[in-house]
């Protein structure tokens, strides 16, 4: 897929059964992200940010409401079709790099493409790693890389198939300031170059300010906020609560 897609959440809620009873992680959210734009979602821990991102990325489905990606109601698709949508058109980046420890940097990145066996898979991998300053680390395993290098490999893996939607959950949360800037630079450069849509969860005001628009969350609900001004205080936590 190429160029950005529109992201729509239509009265979306997500509830979980816990030992303490039913927990509403997301409560009636309406959101519209225009194609090719970037959105930062901010808010205190436990407010539902990561849950929303998982719904947008097709990793989970809402209890009620609809999630549409490029006009397709992804929330109605079975697991295998949502997995195919992610493989073809969604790039996922998480705070934890999630690299496979027994694969080299090159193999971790190219694994995404090998599922579809494209003809330019190897060339595309070499090109992207080089662009990210990882050409000398291409044959190294994750435990031979620094934290910043591993996260750049994870970004390369998310971008290798030229997604039309990039979804990033606290991608700088475990990085020092220098590597955090580098990772955000990479994501935004890729978004601009391809015209992709970018949705990013962050606690960092400086990161949020760099995106086109910022919305804040609290207690599972969404409200527009001034650009780059996230909630600073922590929200309530529930034992066994899956919200993030």
Q: What is the pTM of this model?
A: 0.84
Per-residue confidence (pLDDT) for residue 117, from 0 to 100? 57
All domains in the chain, ordered by first residue: 35-46+78-223 (3.40.50.300)
Per-residue confidence (pLDDT) for residue 61, from 0 to 100? 95
Tokens of 32: 């519209």
Question: H/E element holding 49?
Answer: helix 49-56
Question: What's the CA gap between 73 and 66, in Å, rounded?
Answer: 7
Q: What is the dihedral of CA 154, 158, 162, 163, to 10 degrees?
A: -160
Per-residue confidence (pLDDT) for residue 237, from 0 to 100? 35
Q: What is the pLDDT along the chain (244 residues), one digit of tens a residue?
A: 457 899 999 999 999 998 989 999 999 999 999 999 999 999 888 889 999 999 999 999 999 999 999 999 999 999 999 988 888 899 999 888 889 999 999 999 988 777 665 555 678 888 888 888 888 999 999 999 988 889 889 988 998 888 999 999 988 877 778 778 888 888 888 888 889 999 999 988 888 999 999 999 999 998 754 343 333 333 333 334 444 5
Radius of gyration of the chain (CA): 18
What is the DSSP-derived secondary structure letter of residue 74? G
């Amino acid at each position: 897929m190429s160029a950005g897609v529109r992201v729509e959440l239509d009265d979306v809620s997500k509830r979980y059964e816990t030992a303490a009873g039913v927990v509403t992680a997301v409560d009636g959210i309406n959101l519209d992200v225009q194609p090719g734009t970037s959105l930062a979602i901010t808010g205190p821990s436990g407010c539902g940010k990561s849950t929303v991102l998982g719904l947008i990325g097709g990793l989970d489905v809402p209890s009620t409401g609809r999630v549409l990606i490029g006009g397709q109601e992804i929330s109605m698709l079975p697991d295998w079709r949502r997995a195919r949508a992610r493989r073809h058109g969604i790039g996922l980046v998480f705070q934890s790099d999630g690299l496979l420890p027994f694969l080299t940097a090159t193999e971790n990145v190219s694994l995404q493409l090998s599922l579809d066996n494209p003809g330019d898979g190897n060339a595309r991998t070499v090109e992207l790693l080089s662009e990210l300053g990882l050409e000398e680390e291409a044959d190294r395993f994750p435990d031979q890389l620094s934290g910043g290098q591993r996260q750049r490999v994870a970004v390369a893996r998310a971008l290798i198939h030229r997604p039309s939607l990039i979804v990033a959950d606290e991608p700088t949360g475990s990085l020092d300031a220098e590597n955090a800037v580098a990772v955000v630079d990479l994501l935004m450069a890729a978004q601009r170059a391809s015209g992709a849509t970018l949705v990013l969860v962050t606690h960092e005001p400086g990161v949020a300010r760099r995106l086109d628009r910022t919305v804040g969350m609290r207690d599972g609900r969404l409200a527009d906020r001034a650009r780059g001004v996230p909630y600073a205080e922590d929200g309530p936590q529930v034992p066994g609560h899956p919200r993030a």
